[in-house]
Amino acid sequence: MASDGKRAFYVLTLRPGADLARLLPNVSPLQRELDVVLLHEGILEPALGITPQSVTAEANLTYEREATAALEAVDSGAAQVAFLLNACDVEQVMKIATSGEVMPQKSTDFFPKLMSGITMYRVD
């Protein structure tokens, strides 16, 4: 919450024509399409100093499934800021998985979960 007790919300968007290949040369073209990668590579590490090691250890951040829980964490003072991201869609996950890449941590929190916990991909 802002110091005057009022909430402040901002929508962050890429500038039209942003050259992600130049800005994120060490990130694959498929991964550059993911909001979570843009957040980590464009804000968390360079602007806030949150390293990949800190992310893995969840040392400086937590993950919330529901937007209301994230906003309540900020309102209560348990968190300083919340970033609400677009969910990765199934097509993005399939493209990355079938190209041999791995999805970023916490980016594939799908619901409902399969009862068995195992997913099988049909190979024709």
Give residue 17's domain range: 1-124
pLDDT (0 to 100) of residue 120: 64
pLDDT (0 to 100) of residue 119: 63
pLDDT (0 to 100) of residue 52: 83
- Residue-level pLDDT, tens digit, the chain, 124 residues: 555 667 889 999 989 999 999 999 999 999 998 999 999 998 999 888 888 888 888 888 888 889 999 999 999 999 999 999 988 888 998 899 899 998 887 777 666 666 655 666 677 7
pLDDT (0 to 100) of residue 18: 92
Domains: count for the chain: 1
Per-residue DSSP letters for 21-41?
HHH-TTS-TTGGG-HHHHHII
Dist. CA 108–CA 62, nearest whole Å: 15
The identity of residue 78, as a single letter, is A
Which tokens go with 15? 């500038």
What is the reported pTM?
Answer: 0.75
> Which residue has 């802002």 as its token pair?
2
